[in-house]
Amino acid sequence: MIAPSVVKRHILQHRDLPSLPEVAVRVLEIVDNPRASASELSRAISLDPALTARVLRLANSALYGFTRRIGSTVQAVTVLGFSQVRSVVLTISILDIFSRQGRERIIPHRRIWEHSLACAVAARLLASRARLCPPEEAFVTGLLHDLGKIVLAAALPGEYQQALIRATAEQRRLVDAEMVVLNVSHAEVGRWVAEKWQLPQLLCEAIASHHRWQEELSGLARCLYAANVLVSTSQFGWTGNGRPVPLLDDVRQALSLDERATAALSTELAGQYAAAKQLLALPV
């Protein structure tokens, strides 16, 4: 069996490892700097006209629900705030990363994106409902949570194909089949990529733990876990699991998700996902 340290070194040195564009890296640096000003953040975005147009399009969409029209990056930063601007820029960057994956080989990139987008919407709904974490953090983490699958399929295609076959044949969760074949999971690989991008540690830890529920985990991690299970059971996109994963009673109780609340959440999720999918669709 391959040692996790060997897998990590191979993955982080792989030529196709996804990277954030320079402007996104700069935006993250500014957002993380407590001394940075709104004008500094606005200027960084404005240096990329294409990004500027997409930020304004997203900011004015139903996804963010602002009643007043946002017409400039200065206004976007002022109205949205640093945290939501980071969310918008990361959302655009993640969409571009999925779009660059090219033709689908051993995993269906488009359907993984659909699952990730649904998970992002569900995580934001849960974050707002249960007040576990900032909704915009939950949304971005949902988009990123399965990035490790893309990375593993590109860096170790033969081994990952074995894990996929094993999950189906043995009716396992894909994350368990990954551990058997690779001794590492897509959740951990996702953490490595997020850390390489220097994303907030809380976000990195949530990605790493999105297949387990523990009360001591952060609100973001618990929110992501629940969103992932809810979306998986509703069959949004593709997960690679060989069997369905039920939502534990402990999770339902902790999040006050009785049958009625779950049904209401599912209805809201379906509507918001349809709108988000139209806005954030991968190019054909």
| 86-143: pLDDT as tens digits | 999 999 999 999 988 755 578 999 999 999 999 999 999 999 998 999 999 999 999 9
Does a structural domain hold residue 6? no
Give the span between the Cα atoms of 187 and 190, in whole angstroms: 5
- Residues 176, 77, single domain; the answer is no
Query: Element (H or E) spanning 147, and its range?
Result: helix 147-155
Domain presence at residue 13: no
In a domain, 64, yes or no: yes
**Residue 35 shares a structural domain with residue 80:** yes
pLDDT mean for each 10 residues of the chain (284 residues)? 84 89 93 93 93 91 83 91 92 91 77 96 95 94 97 94 97 96 97 95 97 92 95 90 88 88 92 91 74
Q: Is 1 among the domain residues?
A: no
Q: What pLDDT was estimated at residue 1?
A: 67
* pLDDT for the residue numbered 254: 86
Name the domain boundary from 64, 99, 134. Answer: 99
Full-model pTM:
0.92
166 shares a domain with 77: no
Q: Does residue 278 share a domain with residue 138?
A: yes
Burial class (CB in 10 A: 0-12, 13-18, 19+), 180: middle
State the pLDDT at residue 248.
84
d(CA 108, CA 105): 7
Residue finishing a domain among 78, 99, 120: 99
Same domain, 111 and 86: no
* 114 shares its domain with 35: no
The total number of structural domains that make up the chain: 2
Answer for the pair 255, 130: CB distance below 8 angstroms, yes or no.
yes
- Same domain as 164, residue 258: yes
- pLDDT for the residue 26: 94
Residue 9 maps to a domain: no
Residues 190-215, buried b or exposed e (16+ Cβ, 10 A)? bbbbbbebebbeebbbbbbbbbebee
Dist CA 52 CA 47 (whole Å): 8
Domain extent for 56: 19-99
What's the Cα-to-Cα distance from 56 to each of 20, 29, 85, 101, 260, rounded to whole Å? 20, 20, 10, 25, 37
